[in-house]
Structure 1
Amino acid sequence: MSLEDTVPQSIKAKLKVKHGVSLSEVEECFSNREKGFLEDTREQHKTNPATKWFIAETDYARKLKVVFIEFPDRIELKTAYAPNEKEIEIYNKYA
């Protein structure tokens, strides 16, 4: 999977500037994921199709929370950042 051509420049900039995350790290997380996806059911984050997320490590063991929307023909990346302890607990419990 290559996100380079599908991720808007605004999201790329947000990842780099705000979160210090590269697209290659996000792709590594998709490849290294060991558990399933969780759905974001919070009212202010509801989308159609549903917003999903997961936590995985990059090839260099950096944990990231990856948030995206899955369409039949593509993935729309919303954000990726270092998860907090609460997010890690939720993911480990429900994924």
Structure 2
Amino acid sequence: MGALSISLGVRAKLNKKVPPVSEEEIAECFVNKCGVNLLDEREDNQTDPPTLWFIAETHAGRLLKIVYVFKNGTRHLKTAYDPNEIEIAIYEKYGK
């Protein structure tokens, strides 16, 4: 699965979210994922390597969208947040 790397800048953004998103919740989502990663193919979000995302529940049942890139055996978190209904519908259709 690879190690998880969260930069100081991303950690700061996660702590400012309401409610905040913890590293533990992110790790739980990777463990609880029931589906595949989807590629973020929007032109403004193109990265090398590609940006991947999925939606999963924490152990407490909180639904989070996890966005990251996988490089050199490490998952580099870009963001994590509570998904909106459109994102949930996209993942239900293409990710499961």
TM-score normalized by the length of structure 2: 0.91
CA distance, structure 2, for counterparts of residue 63 and residue 76 of structure 1: 20
Residue correspondence of structure 1 range 43-82 to structure 2 within 5 A? 43-82=43-82
Contact 2:10 2:78 in 1 (8 A): yes
How far residue 18 of structure 1 moved from its aligned partner, in angstroms, is 2.5
Aligned-pair RMSD on alpha carbons?
1.2
How far residue 92 of structure 1 moved from its aligned partner, in angstroms, is 0.4
Instruction: Determine what percentage of the aligned residue pairs are the same residue.
Output: 46
1:94 aligns with 2:94: yes
CA distance, structure 2, for counterparts of residue 2 and residue 60 of structure 1: 23
CA distance, structure 1, for counterparts of residue 73 and residue 79 of structure 2: 19
Alignment coverage as a number of residue pairs: 93
How far residue 2 of structure 1 moved from its aligned partner, in angstroms, is 5.4
TM-score normalized by the length of structure 1: 0.92
Residue correspondence of structure 1 range 4-83 to structure 2 within 5 A? 6-19=5-18, 20-83=20-83
Unmatched runs of 5 consecutive residues or more in structure 1 = none
How far residue 87 of structure 1 moved from its aligned partner, in angstroms, is 0.2
CA distance, structure 2, for counterparts of residue 57 and residue 18 of structure 1: 17
Richer in strand (by share): 2
How far residue 72 of structure 1 moved from its aligned partner, in angstroms, is 3.0
CA distance, structure 1, for counterparts of residue 42 and residue 27 of structure 2: 25
Contact 1:68 1:77 in 2 (8 A): yes
Comparing both chains, which one has the higher relative contact order based on Cα–Cα distances under 8 Å and sequence gaps of 6 or more?
Answer: 2
Task: Give 3-state SS (helix, strand or coil) of 1:34's partner.
Answer: coil
